[in-house]
Structure 1
Amino acid sequence: MFKSPISYKPDEELFSPITKHTNEQDPLWYKHAVLYEVHVRAFCDSNEDGKGDFQGLAEKIPYLRKLGVTCLWLLPFFDSPLKDDGYDIRDYYKVHPDFGDIDDFKWFLKVAHSNGLRVVIELIMNHTSDQHFWFQESKKDKIDKVTGEINKYRDYYVWNKDDNRYLGTRIIFIDTEKSNWSYDEQRGEYYWHRFFSHQPDLNYDNEDVEKEMIEVARYWLKLGVDGFRADAVPYLYEREGTSNENLPETHQFFKRLRAIMDKEYPGTILLSEANQLPKEASQYFGVGDEFHLSFNFPVMPRLFIALRKQDRTPIVEVMNQTPDIPQNCQWVIFLRNHDELTLEMVSPEDRDYMWAEFAKDIRMRCNLGIRRRLFPLLDGHRQEVELLNALLLSLPGSPVIYYGDEIGMGDNVYLGDRNGVRTPMQWSIDRNGGFSRADPPLLYLPINSDPLYGYQSVNVEQQERLKYSFLNWMRSIIQVRQKHKGSLVFCNPECNIHILSFLRILPYSPFPSTNIVPSSEVIAPMQSNTIVNEETLIGPSLTRQLI
């Protein structure tokens, strides 16, 4: 039986305006943040051209504030040919014209900060687009035949006369790339790329490249962003005889960048995207002098495995394998994001199990992962979705919510690459789901219109009117998390692997002599109850009772 949900009126203290002084006064703000990952072009179109933009995103800030998230993580919005959804940058200093211009970005940032929301943007340092000025110049002769000047960009990328170097390096995009080398006709040599062939890797052994990228970071920090999610960090350097991942030189570079940020822009943060096991990923924290945050990738697939097998073991094992980290650092965890649900960090047996259980249709698979959104991934079972979100907001780390997942948006497996999980936000039953007034063929991707997850059935406007909608449940549980911050200790009964139990240890306690907190949790996958109120927090299969 449902009880009345708690009020989801945001705590005003959480949403006081963000200024430079705010970050300096609360330098550990990221440790208790709830992040919201959003693609500018997918959220709201203000000028009716079929693509979301910064003006549209600014208009929706009140919605995001009401949701209860505290930090926006923006996917790439830089000038780009968009062959990889913006991760192929043509100019680091320009906003893609689809999204507006630099003044539109500044306005959005001002609106977000004035509403108490911090903003983290992408810092794509490993590679650029092959259309970037640097790469175009890199292909030219070492000495300009007309001016006689030395071509400073000649070594901005990793070139070789043949493709026989670094042979032990794995290929990441196995669905599309057969080699990490591609041949360039103009230069007559091969260039190195860890991702798509149109994304050549920068050469960080060239000091000029490091200086260029640090200046890129300074530019956006000066504008007022609160930090960066650094993309593909393990791959910056190459050394023969290694896997070309997680090299010492990479850590040294990011420590230099961190030192600059701490000195010049205190309170801003670096978030590492290193798809590695916890032991390797934790190295990116350094001794608290490298990254502030790092994704704990292996947690995510194990949540799904544990749920489907009704066995706590995968969760307990991965948490036990997660090492202690410096006090000024934090893990970041998530259920879904803009990429495929990666299965790189699970065993081949678990990978086959995940594919068999969650991606029976081959079109749902991408590289070593699954390209599906959360609700369809779980066959639309709201109680299972609530259970996983309850875990997401309870386990150690700062959680990320992917745009649209708070209303249960679906995917479109018929779209190429990972675009099936990047469709327009569904605001209402209006034209194009309220995302845009443009003619439907002009949309950057078609709005989801299938009977189960289409905008006619799943949209913000409808769920805001329904007291027990999934959106209102998400608002409630996020508020509970924000009110009761603490650490977690497992206390699992040996006799029953179907139960995951843990204590939530808060910094305060009604029992000073024990300093133990206020709540105990039992997760029993076979049960299904959904209640959210001040006395009990129950996700389907999750019970948290005050003691």
Structure 2
Amino acid sequence: FSRANPQQLYLPVTIDPEYHYEAINVENQQKNLSSLLWWTRRVIAMRKNFKAFSRGSLEFLNPDNPKVLAFLRRWENETIVVIVNLSRFSQSAELDLSRFAGCVPMEVFSRNLFRPIRKTHYVITLGPHAYYWFALQAPIDARRALKKHVVPTIKAPAQLEVLLGNSQREQIEREVLPNHIQNSRWFGSKARTFRNLEVKEQLAFSPDAEGARLWFVEVNYLDAPTETYAIPVKIASGETAHAIAQNAPHAIVAHFGRRNGAILCDAIWDSAFRSQLFDAIVRRRTLRAQAGQFVGLTTSGLESQDFDVSANSHVLSAEQSNSSMLFDNKFFLKLYRKLEDGVNPDVEITRFLTEQTDFPNVPAFVGALEYRRAKAEPTVVCLLQRAVPNEGNVWTLTVDALGRYYERVLERKADFQNETAPPGVLINELVGGVYPEKVKLLGQRTGELHLALASRSNDPAFAPESFNAMAQRSVYQSMRTSLRRAFTSLEKKLSDVPAKFRSEAREVLAAEKEILAREKRLLDRRNNAAKIRIHGDYHLGQLLYTGKDFVILDFEGEPARPLSDRKMKRSALRDVAGMMRSFQYAAYAALWQQAMRKEDVPFLERWADLWYRQTSSMFLQSYLSTTTGAMFIPKNSDDLQVMLEAYLLDKAVYEIGYELNNRPSWVLIPVRGIKHILQMT
């Protein structure tokens, strides 16, 4: 800590070789993120993130193992569990955390979630002198249920056949279903002004009176077109109802005013209903409803032994706009909540890639469930695919890689303090590891996807089309409208943006004419690049990593857009721009994690931008190498630059509007993205 003359120090210098000042000193420990210095810094930073550590109450838990110390720190809504192994040997202990049943322990440094707490004792295992700091989190759906609504009560017998009768239908359509829909994650029109709803169709999956039913609910708005949603319902009672109330409270649609605890619930939480959905598809059943019929479809080559797995299934808990189920880890079934007439692009593209191309990097299409009625296009209700064993999505993989990158930068912080423009070789060294090779593989797979989508000129739905002057003008008009809408919103909501970012937001607002001029250059180019079917909502969260390769998911497009719009052919560079923007989001998401010390963030921001530029460049070069000579890539490099820049700007402009409505503190990401794009040329 000091360069003073050792003879002038109050105490003598340690002469033990292991702890001598030439071995143990700040300069050396600064370069090693595993050192005591960095550990202390991280602990202090984490302590500042939770007021419970400094102001909370202290309560010892008295585990069964005396060599394990465990206690609670609580302050307002914060509950921290600290568990420490006081022994030099591994230890196991049981803790009585039953009062927190349903909560999920989150390890505060890694933000990894551990097993949920149950009514039984919680078993924990620790290595020698190991410790855990857990923040207890209520389940997401439970928090939402407690925060947003009270479940209504139906004053009628617990029988499905009477709920839509004349005497009960009014309460179902005016109170029960509006309450449930508006508090469901999959309902995407919460900002619209609700008018009324009506159950237009219902299907009984079995002749059993207690069997589940699938309702089609038509929702009307004062300020938007009508939408139709699929809601499967079932009546549960006894232990089944209790289990749903404990594990999925958001699935409860209503209570019945009886003493047996019966509930009306979302039927996806009923294993029998999930099996019926699966069987309807794989056995190609035709089920008659009131106004139409449901028809199961399958691809060729489905073996009969595959039919026997449907009883072993569970609901996937990931938050999304549809409902997903996994069958025996072999099949993945998606129930579309928002329904529109016509083939869903998710089904259409997945089936095309499976049956008509050799592109293997998508979950194989198995089948679908369609709703058919006279004088209307079929409506896709469910999609069934092969399940893909994987290590998680590529967003998580990327954020983890970024965490290691930031650690390497911090280890050399003292060397970089005076650096202004580190050379490319240094950036390559810091990015390090195998992640750059994965980025190149991702670029290659993206190119191969577009080549596959453009490979069948004899199929009108997938045949490439000319990106002519009319198409260029249409794209430009759409970009101009989006820019004006987003910047008007930014001007109105500038006060919502954190004060330290407002000057940068004003810089971008002042550049509106320049952005428009860059986008307008599309009209000056007459390139021969074709329009093709694309993914439409391409980002890191739409891919899984298998350990060796990538699998691309969710070809549904942006759910907020009309079905006809999502099926349009567009420039492949739109997908490329979406992925490049996703890299910048990942860079800042990793930087703003709670485990990151706040004092390190300003220093690392510049390195986040450098990582984003380097990684985006690697991805783009790999993509262009894969698609050399493809009809959907402009032949002229200047045309390519103009088109890619326009799509990058358009995507960043869209992100500004999205973040202002959802996460104003994140608006810095697209703002800096626009500044970077404008500085590229």
Query: TM-score w.r.t. structure 2 length?
Result: 0.24
The structure that has the greater radius of gyration is 2
The structure with the greater share of residues assigned to helix is 2
Structure 1 length as normaliser, TM-score? 0.28
Q: Which has the higher contact order (CA 8 A, sep 6+)?
A: 1
